[in-house]
């Protein structure tokens, strides 16, 4: 009943994370996706992940698995509401990326995150419509993957949910 109720008003963005080294942040990302009512979470690569961080929200959040980035890209080609493609928006701090604070996120999209440490694979970056970074001001090179996911989902909510009000 809870899932049915949530499904009746989920937001049209999805969240994806590459998982090729068993990232411990996935549970927290699933929990964040539930908090922001993402349509679904996609785990690309290794199917196993630590569910403790999800705090049981994986029972209420659709979690899908794609063995490879190529499988994920194939899914995205027909995942849109109208059966068309859904844009993949990568979040990573690589050369040539754009600032998320200055970018209009599509209403229907997949927010793709890399694994803590290595970030996104080159194949994932190439499959993305754009690569966005979260502006940082301190001495660290990057922020935690689950923190980046929460910031990005909140940015989507600010642009699409609160903008409507």
Helices (H) and strands (E) in the chain, counts: 5, 7
pTM value > 0.85: yes
Tens digits of residue pLDDT in 76-88: 999 999 999 999 9
Per-residue pLDDT, averaged over 17-26, amounts to 75
Higher pLDDT residue, 67 or 119? 67
Q: Can you tell me which residue has the tokens 């008003």?
A: 9
Quick: pLDDT tens for 131-159: 999 999 999 888 888 999 999 999 999 99
Q: Cα–chain-centroid distance for residue 127?
A: 14
Q: Rounded mean pLDDT of 1-8? A: 93
Tokens 């935690």 identify what position? Answer: 144
């Amino acid at each position: 009943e809870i899932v049915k109720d949530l499904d009746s008003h989920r937001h049209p963005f999805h969240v994806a994370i590459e998982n090729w080294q068993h990232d411990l942040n996935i549970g927290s990302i699933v929990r964040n996706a539930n908090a922001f009512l993402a349509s679904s979470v996609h785990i690309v690569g290794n199917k196993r992940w630590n569910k403790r961080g999800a705090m049981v929200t994986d029972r209420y959040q659709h979690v899908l698995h794609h063995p490879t980035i190529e499988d994920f890209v194939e899914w995205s080609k027909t995942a849109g509401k109208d059966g068309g493609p859904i844009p993949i928006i990568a979040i990573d701090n690589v050369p040539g990326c754009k600032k998320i604070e200055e970018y209009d996120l599509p209403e229907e999209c997949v927010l793709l995150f890399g694994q803590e440490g290595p970030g996104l694979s080159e194949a994932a970056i190439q499959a993305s419509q754009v690569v966005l970074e979260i502006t940082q001001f301190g001495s660290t090179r990057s922020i935690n993957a689950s923190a980046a996911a929460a910031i990005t989902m909140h940015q989507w909510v600010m642009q699409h949910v609160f903008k409507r009000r």
